[in-house]
Structure 1
Amino acid sequence: MLIVFQVLFSLPGVFLHRKIFDPGYYPWIELFMNGGGVIGAIMSSLLVWKYINKKKIVTLGLELNSLSMKDFGFGLFLGGAMMTLIFFVLLVTGQLSLKGSLFAPDLSIYSFTFLLLFIAVGFSEEIFFRGYIMKTMEDRHNSKWLLYVMSALIFSLFHGMNPNVSVFGLINIGLVGLLFSYMYDATKSLWMPIGYHITWNYFQGNVFGFPVSGTDPHGLYQITTENSAKLFTGGDFGPEGGLLATLFIIVGGFATNMYCKKRGSSSYESKH
């Protein structure tokens, strides 16, 4: 049922997305066109969970308290930090060239509008792929790893429609999907994966100017990777299609594990 709702709400955004980077469109119109579909997807997930599954929305992992905000902050920091490391490794090793100065970012209205969009995308995809899918499967299956793998696999296949998609890119998206699943399971909360998802995408596209899963937003910096090894940069799909992303997703997993050990027991209760 939810898949039907997701498709109905998302189709307009899929078609309009082809226009998102057309310079003839104004930033606020772009935000409206893309954000509308994303907000619709969020609402469809929440409404189906509440009225079809007949469960409270907070049981998806959306409780608000000091611990959840700490998790959210860690996710925001980690996602941005991992993408920053990828950028500087590629820059230092000569795998990308920076047009202009590192100390003269090109601030524009896109810096703000796309932040709003990536916040909405982070909530939308985590509520659906981690919250709804994992919680629904949890009621039917006892295997934790099955929940991880199925959520990550569906997440990866969902990105198979993106432009410039590559096999390596889909593998890495599946890998980061596993990381998000671990974050969700370890904290019993969506806040950490939502935070990571937001800054991973935002720093990737709108700070450092990389393609984001095959799409090409407006960055604070303009870069070129034309003469670089696609194995490392990911080519037109962006860093998610490269080996460095694989490495830093794994590093992010170790960092998350360390954080969760120090974090202690969760205050969240698994409600069904």
Structure 2
Amino acid sequence: MNFDEHVVPWRRRNFIICVIVPTILALVLLTCGDILVEIISELFGGLASLTPASPISIGSTIGRIVIVFLCVLLLTKLFRLTLPDLGMVRENRFGTWATGVGFGFAAVTVVYLINVIFGALDVSFTLKASELWVLLLAAVFFAFQGFFEELLFRFFIIPAYAARITVAGAIGLSSILFAFIHLNNPNLTIFGMVNLVLYGVVFGTMYWRTGNAWFVAGWHSGWNFVLSMLYGSHVSGNALPGSVLSSAPNGSELLNGGEFGLEGSVLSTLLGIAIIAWCVKTKPASDTGLFTRRTRPTRDLA
């Protein structure tokens, strides 16, 4: 299923329905999702939290699962969309998601190993045998956390935007919105902010290239999980306990991203640009280009 098919349900809808409403709704759902996660976490009393300050607990993980299913239900009913319209194709769902996780793992590992080789990180082993369960809990948490962000800021709003503007414009607007929701992240730097916008473009272009939500969500979740729970680096400025390794920045912030983490590294910038270039270069010519105006719809949906 290619990306163009995700745009079809939006083509007979006006600018307000395709751009204004999705933008407001994405921000509202994000806020409501965070509130719901907090409520469910309180109901569970922080049961099995990594630490009192950690956002990962049984309650917060259940909350992430619940909010993903509620958002999918709301979006499909409210806008009369199918799961494939949101990129959730039926074929080989887990395999495609796992492939995305693998690519996310490989990508962040490249950035990490270069930092280790150049001495830009002080690495130590920190995981205790009694904390092995933490990795499983965190894996589930990040699987749904990554999917939730991708659902709102890629799978939902990019096709909606693209029905009224070019795909490039849709990806650009969604990327700015994606960076905007991270403005309050701790240790945010100018370079970190640039990379947040850039990786919004990365995931948006990736979705345009593949048309597959499972692959993109898997990449996002794999990147976050490996970066935080295996390598012990900050994720967008946030530090999480219970990781296998601890990787403290040492020396050049240009390489290690400082306290913001490897997502603020120039290496992540170069990697992101390379991914975008690959997606653009390998996109089949028969599909709509990034700067192509929309043609008349092939399916009439109100």
Asked whether the two chains share a fold, i.e. TM above 0.5, the reply is yes
- Distance in structure 2 (CA, Å) of the matches to 1:26 and 1:164: 17
1:167-225 Cα distance to aligned partner (Å, 9 max, x none):
21121111111111111112222122111101111110011110111111232112222
Match 1:75 to one of 74, 95, 100: 100
User: How many corresponding residue pairs?
Assistant: 260
Tell me the residue number matched to 2:159: 135
Give matches, 1:168-207, under 5 Å: 168-207=191-230
Unaligned runs of 5+ in 2: 1-24, 288-297
**Residue equivalent to 1:60:** 86
Alignment of 1:34-53 (within 5 A): 34-53=60-79
User: Is residue 6–residue 44 contact of structure 1 (8 Å, CA) maintained in 2?
Assistant: no
How many angstroms apart in 2 are the aligned matches of 1:23 and 1:189?
A: 33
Alignment partner, residue 118 of structure 1 = 142
Question: What letter is aligned with 2:172?
Answer: V
| TM-fit CA distance, 1:160 | 1.3
For 2:98 and 2:66, locate their aligned partners in 1 and report how far apart those are by CA, in whole Å: 26
Choose which of 88, 97, 108 in structure 1 pairs with 2:122: 97
Distance in 1 separating the partners of 2:248 and 2:53: 25
Greater displacement, 201-210 / 53-62: 53-62
**Residue 119 of structure 2 aligns to which amino acid in structure 1?**
G
TM-score (norm 1): 0.82
Asked if structure 1 preserves the Cα contact closer than 8 Å seen for 2:111 and 2:267, the reply is yes
Q: Which has the larger radius of gyration?
A: 2
One of 235, 245, 250 as aligned partner of 1:212:
235
* Paired residues for 1:14-33 under 5 Å: 24-25=51-52, 30-33=56-59
Question: In structure 1, what is the Cα distance between the partners aligned to 2:155 and 2:81?
Answer: 12
Q: How big is the shift at 1:61?
A: 0.6
Match runs of 1:149-164 below 5 Å? 149-164=172-187
Taking a change above 3 Å as real, the CA distance of residues 170 and 40 of structure 1, as seen in their structure-2 partners, is farther
Q: Could you say what secondary structure the match of 1:214 adopts? A: coil
| Distance in 2 between residues matched to 1:131 and 1:64, nearest whole Å | 15
Letter in 1 for 2:165: N
For the 8 Å contact 1:6–1:41, the answer to whether it is kept is: no
Q: Secondary structure at the match of 1:222?
A: strand
Alignment RMSD (CA, Å): 3.3
Any idea what the Cα deviations from partners look like across 1:50-92, whole Å, max 9, x if unmatched?
A: 22112223310101214x6664344222211111111110111
Aligned equivalents of 2:188 and 2:79: distance in 1?
Answer: 34
Distance in 1 between residues matched to 2:139 and 2:52, nearest whole Å? 17
**Identical counterparts, % of pairs:** 22
Contact kept? 1:60, 1:132, Cα under 8 Å: yes
Structure-1 separation of matches of 2:38 and 2:119: 35
Partner of 1:222: 246
Partners of 2:280 and 2:81 lie apart in 1 by: 29
* Inter-CA distance 74–43: structure 2 relative to 1 (3 Å threshold): closer
Residue equivalent to 2:15: none
